[in-house]
Amino acid sequence: MASAASANLNAVRETMDVLLEISRLLNTGLDMESLSICVRLCEQGINPEALSAVIKELRKASETLKASENSTN
């Protein structure tokens, strides 16, 4: 039983490593933690395209806020 759990854990790690490499090749800017959260959300039924749109909007909002802070300083 323990070896099956260990094999499953290794498969999950390998899968996440491959997904992270693909993410880096596509220049998504996602780190391992963010990518892991996205994968879990998709596994729970969240629409990947909607998730992508939310991430893009959050990045835009963050850039706008940073630019606003820099212009006031």
pLDDT (tens digit, 9 = 90+) per residue, 25-44? 999 999 999 999 999 999 99
The model carries a pTM of 0.80
* Predicted pLDDT at 1: 63
CA-closest candidate to residue 59, choices 33, 36, 24, 29: 29
Percent residues over pLDDT 90 in the chain: 84
* Cα torsion 35, 41, 47, 50: sign: negative
Decide if pLDDT at 4 tops 90: no
